[in-house]
Amino acid sequence: MTEVKAPVDKRVPVIDAQNIVKTYKMGDIEVNALRGVSVRIFAGELASIMGPSGSGKTTLMNILGCLDQSTTGSYKLDGVDVDKLSDDQLASIRNRKIGFVFQSFNLLRRTPAIENVEQPLIYGGIGMRERRERSRAALESVGLGDRLKHHANELSGGQQQRVAIARAIVTRPSLILADEPTGNLDSKSGAEIMCLFQRLNEESGITVIFVTHDQRIASHTRRVISIADGQITGDVAVEDQILACPDPAVVRPMPVLEKAKR
Amino acid sequence: MNIIEVIRLSLHTLAANKLRAALTMFGISIGVGAVIALLAIGTGVQTYITQQFTSSGTNLIAVIPGQIQRGGGGGNPFGPQVGLGMSDYRAVVGSVPFLLDTAVDFGGLGSFTYESNQSEVNVSGVTPSYSTVRNWSTRIGRFIDDGDNGGRSRVVVLGQTVANDLFPGLNPLDEVVKINNVPFRVIGVMETKGSSFLGDQDATAFIPLTTAQERLFQASAQTKGGDRRINTIYLQVQDDSARPIVTAAVNALLRERHHIAVDDPNDFSVVSQTELINTFGAVTEVLTVFLGAIAAISLLVGGIGIMNIMLVSVTERTREIGLRKAIGATSRAILGQFLAEAMFLSLLGGMIGIAIGVGGAYAVSRVADIHPEVQLSAVTLAVGFSLAVGLFFGIYPARRASRLNPIDALRFE
Ligand SMILES: Nc1ncnc2c1ncn2[C@@H]1O[C@H](COP(=O)(O)OP(=O)(O)O)[C@@H](O)[C@H]1O
Ligand SMILES: [Mg+2]
């Protein structure tokens, strides 16, 4: 086990997970999906968690995303001790602080793009008018300003994933967790999505964590945390990061999206 | 997240699945409609029966020979040999208080012929007051009067059915018909009463009481005591509050006159309209409840339909539920959303059901003699019940949805 020696840093990490163990019980059999994972990620990072299938990436992401809780270990998100929170408090944290992007988009199918983006704001108790406004801004910032009323199932895969990204950023979260976000896309759409994430991170300062089994995808980030068999096996800075966006000159600047808070 | 958002969300979902929502709703609509229509019909039947009784005269008490068994059935264990006589009638008229008017009848089966036309109905020998006591007068001609009775005249007043049978399209007045081969002159035709569950009330004819006793049915006109036999004594009491007093007085008088020992039952029956209405009222009330219960079962089936659809929906939308939880929905919000869907289906279904029920009741009133009465209480009951059904059958699927683990739900294929 490679101890990750984080540099002495005065900043509060967005993610501070220590000795996370996750054991699934299936009848008599116990599956140790995570066996003591410690990881610290700071605000503004663009990092990836990379490992082969079954290595525990999704399990780790679920715990980091407060969708699940560890069997043992401690996890602080934005300095808040998540282990002690109730289900409703976790729901609130997910709503305010985390944006999820999934491999299979998970949009409401027969629902217009803008309403898909609105969903987290509904649970956040945001009023209707502000909801509309922010959702439109989010869709514009992912380049779908002309597709607001399109139903999810009328959009291409790449467009659907962009709607999902708009949904993830509309709450202005401090952290975006993306689990194999390009897994269901062709390489061109995939590159567009990667470009979006890079710009989100660059221009809005949102912390973005990628989960992937693909070395190439991981190379789009600046830090690659390797995981195998439920343990962290490496944590390196990427030397030559792949930039997915075409010449910055031809890209529209991202409008409206404010800097992420905290 | 407030209630309006919850409702908006569930309406959106239902709108995305219109056909399914409509069909589910229809199950509830049928149930509610059936409850309302059947209760309305039951109430209508009750009113109808009450009307039938009141139309035969108000505040009427009838005294008939023999013992009517409680709970229906006109058993007559003592046979006709006891019977009621004219002296009984006179004694009642002479001593019972609070009587407004009285009448008496005696008769039997009569075979009517006019030329080649025939009709067979009951002929009643009556006193002139019969017409007023029964609240029934002639349509054309006149009723039996005192002169007819004094002279034992062979005159007859026909019921409409008999008139139609013997004189199709003709005026029967002053024609001569034969009753059991005795010639009678037609002096009048009664108003139409129509038929009811009591039978065709127009299939009858009236002759003077004396004529019936002495000329037409003299063979059966003697009681054992040598008195002139009568079939029914009609007593019109002043008002309904006098009814118990009159009944008691008649009972006491006739028991004494018939020398009935203290422990023995009456050999006659005093039947009041109110009692009959109450008896039939009780029967039709049971009927109404029964109809309502049947309808309630269909409402229950509609509720199971809702539960079925909601359960399918929860399974189908497992990923959606997982996603909603991931983006911040609490269990309560999910519960609320699914419950609101079920409640909305049942409530709107109930509203449509009201329309179906009222429409159904109206349709029945078009084809039947009954006028169904849609009562507010029935509507409230049905809609309340449908809401309860929605709540009851919606809560289980909604709880299942709210308890889904977001990770499992997101992994669900
Ligand atoms: N809900 C679960 N119940 C039981 N075992 C699970 C569950 N989720 C994951 N696992 C197991 O944990 C291990 C890690 O899974 P996962 O985190 O999905 O891997 P990855 O995302 O890296 O492919 C696997 O062996 C998997 O079978
Ligand atoms: Mg995975």
The pLDDT value given to residue B54: 72
pLDDT(B262) > 90: no
Cα gap A190→A158, rounded to integer Å? 7
**Mean pLDDT value of segment B62-90:** 68
Q: B327, A92: Cβ pair inside 8 Å?
A: no
pLDDT(B211) > 90: yes
Per-range mean pLDDT, top range of A39-43, B195-199, B268-272, B292-296: A39-43
Confidence tier at B244 by pLDDT (50, 70, 90) = confident
Atom number, ligand 1, closest to the C-alpha of residue A227:
22
Is B55 in contact with B135 (CB distance < 8 Å)? yes
**Mean pLDDT value of segment B132-156:** 92
The pLDDT value given to residue B83: 83
Question: Which of A96, A111, A120 faces B16 most closely, judged by CB atoms?
Answer: A111
Q: Lowest-pLDDT range, A90-94, B27-31, B161-165? A: B27-31
Is B276 in contact with B72 (CB distance < 8 Å)? no
DSSP A70-137: -SEEEEEETTEEGGG--HHHHHHHHHHHEEEE-TT----TTSBHHHHHHHHHHHTT--HHHHHHHHHH
The pLDDT value given to residue B198: 66
Q: Which two tokens stand for residue A36?
A: 């003591």
The pLDDT value given to residue B79: 44
Residue B348 is which amino acid?
L
**A 73-132 residues with CB below 8 A of B?**
87-88, 91-92, 94-96, 100, 102, 106, 108, 110-111, 115, 119-120, 122-125
The pLDDT value given to residue B78: 44
Ligand 1 centroid from CA A89, angstroms: 25
Residue with tokens 């889904």: B404
**CA distance to A174, B117, B185, B200, per residue, from B207 (Å):** 105, 20, 10, 19
* Model pLDDT for residues B43-71, shown as the tens digit of each residue: 888 888 777 777 666 688 889 888 765 44
pLDDT(A11) > 80: no
Q: Which ligand is nearest to the CA of A67?
A: 1
The pLDDT value given to residue B125: 94
Q: Classify the C-alpha dihedral B220-B223-B224-B225 as positive or negative.
A: negative
ipTM: 0.89
**Mean pLDDT value of segment B142-146:** 94
pLDDT(B88) > 50: yes
Atom number, ligand 1, closest to the C-alpha of residue B407:
1
The pLDDT value given to residue A82: 92
The answer to pTM > 0.80 is no
Residue B239 is which amino acid?
D
**Better-scored residue on pLDDT, B135 or A160:** A160
**CA distance to A11, A16, A39, B68, B320, per residue, from A42 (Å):** 7, 9, 10, 98, 31
The pLDDT value given to residue B77: 45
Q: Which pairing describes strands B176-179 and A231-237: parallel, antiparallel, or unpaired?
A: unpaired
Confidence tier at A10 by pLDDT (50, 70, 90) = low
HSE-up of residue A93 (Cα within 13 Å, Cβ side): 23
Mean pLDDT of chain B: 86
**Mean pLDDT value of segment B3-8:** 84
Cα gap B41→B371, rounded to integer Å? 7
Q: B410, A122: Cβ pair inside 8 Å?
A: no
Listed in sequence order, the DSSP H helices in B56-159 are: 86-95, 130-133, 146-150
**Better-scored residue on pLDDT, B227 or A51:** A51
Confidence tier at B374 by pLDDT (50, 70, 90) = confident
The pLDDT value given to residue B71: 43
**Better-scored residue on pLDDT, B386 or A31:** A31
Per-range mean pLDDT, top range of A118-127, B341-350, B384-393: A118-127
Q: Which two tokens stand for residue A207?
A: 């912390």
The pLDDT value given to residue A201: 93
The pLDDT value given to residue B173: 93
Residue A150: count other Cβ atoms within 10 Å of its Cβ.
16
Q: If you take atom 27 of ligand 1, which residue's CA is the nearest one? A: A54
Is B43 in contact with B372 (CB distance < 8 Å)? yes
**CA distance to B161, B193, B317, per residue, from B295 (Å):** 39, 34, 33
Q: B327, A119: Cβ pair inside 8 Å?
A: yes
% pLDDT > 70, chain A: 90
Domains in chain A, start-ordered, CATH in brackets? 15-250 (3.40.50.300)
Confidence tier at B366 by pLDDT (50, 70, 90) = confident
* Model pLDDT for residues A104-117, shown as the tens digit of each residue: 999 998 889 999 99
Is A142 in contact with A160 (CB distance < 8 Å)? no
**Better-scored residue on pLDDT, B294 or A209:** A209
Residues of B within 8 A of A94 (CB-CB) are 325-328
The pLDDT value given to residue A262: 41
Nearest residue of B to residue A69 by CA position? Answer: B407
Q: Which ligand is nearest to the CA of A104?
A: 2
* Model pLDDT for residues B185-194, shown as the tens digit of each residue: 999 999 998 7
Atom number, ligand 1, closest to the C-alpha of residue A56:
17
Is B401 in contact with B407 (CB distance < 8 Å)? no
Is B410 in contact with A106 (CB distance < 8 Å)? yes
The pLDDT value given to residue A7: 53
Query: Cα A218 from chain centroid?
Result: 13
* Model pLDDT for residues A215-239, shown as the tens digit of each residue: 999 999 999 999 999 999 999 999 8
The pLDDT value given to residue B80: 43
HSE-up of residue A33 (Cα within 13 Å, Cβ side): 20
Residue B195 is which amino acid?
S
Ligand 1 pocket: which of A21, A24, A225, A231 to mutate (most atoms <8 Å of CB)? A24
